[in-house]
């Protein structure tokens, strides 16, 4: 009985070690590279009515090779300005990033008028990739800080 338990414990430990090794070293694959942010219909009207309509976060964090395309969707009925981009109602704007860094933007969809996109490098194989995978598991939309 003791021996059987020891075998099970060894098998479990091996499985956990295998899973951790996979999480730390397996290449990161992503079904979509888009980090979608939608400005919903009525945002402008709500803001005009004096309501605080926080749609976009202060900071968006993207990761190269994982979710490195910022997708802005204007579902409102008025044009929205995001930095230098005028997005018409019903229009999408996809902005791919290829370099890590911080990108501040002016944005009328944001009550403060300011937003920062932080682009992080692809987590390298090892501890950093393991940490990133664990963090992603805990967060449904990891790009929303």
Partner 1 sequence: MIRRYLLALLLSAASLAHAADKLKSGTFDPPRMAPQIAQKAADGKDFSLDKFRGKVVVLEFGYTSCADVCPVSLALLKQAREKLGAMGDRMQVVFVTVDPQRDTAPKLKAYLEQFDKSFVGLTGSDEQMAAIRKAYGISATKKMVDGSKTEYTMGHSSYLYFIDPQGRLRALMPFGRPADDIVHDVTLLAKGQ
Q: Residue 88 contacts by C-beta under 8 Å, 6 or more apart in sequence?
A: 74, 79
Site string for partner 1, 43-82 (x = CB under 8 A): ------------------------------------x-x-
Q: Which of 10, 18, 48, 94 binds partner 1 (CB under 8 A)?
A: 94
For partner 1, the closer CB: 81 or 130: 81
Q: Residue 27 contacts by C-beta under 8 Å, 6 or more apart in sequence?
A: none
Q: Which of 51, 58, 92, 145 binds partner 1 (CB under 8 A)?
A: 92
Considering only CA atoms, which of 7, 110, 107 is closest in space to residue 54?
110
Number of residues forming the site for partner 1 (CB under 8 A): 18
For partner 1, the closer CB: 24 or 66: 66
Buried b / exposed e over 104-124, threshold 16 CB at 10 Å, is ebebbbbeeeebebbbbebbe
Which residues contact partner 1 by CB under 8 A? 79, 81, 83-88, 90-96, 98, 103, 106
């Amino acid at each position: 009985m003791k021996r059987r338990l020891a075998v099970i414990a060894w098998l479990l430990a091996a499985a956990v070690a295998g899973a951790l090794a996979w999480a730390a070293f397996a290449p990161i694959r992503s079904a979509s590279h888009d980090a979608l942010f939608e400005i919903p219909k009525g945002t402008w009207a709500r803001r005009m009515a004096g309501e605080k309509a926080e749609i976009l976060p202060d900071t968006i964090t993207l990761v190269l090779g994982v979710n490195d395309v910022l997708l802005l969707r204007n579902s409102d009925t008025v044009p929205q300005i995001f930095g230098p981009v005028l997005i018409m109602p019903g229009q999408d704007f996809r902005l791919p990033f290829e370099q890590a860094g911080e990108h501040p933007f002016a944005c009328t969809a944001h009550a403060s008028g300011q937003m920062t996109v932080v682009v992080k490098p692809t987590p390298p194989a090892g501890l950093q990739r393991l940490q990133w995978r664990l963090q992603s598991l805990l967060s449904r939309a990891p790009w929303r800080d």
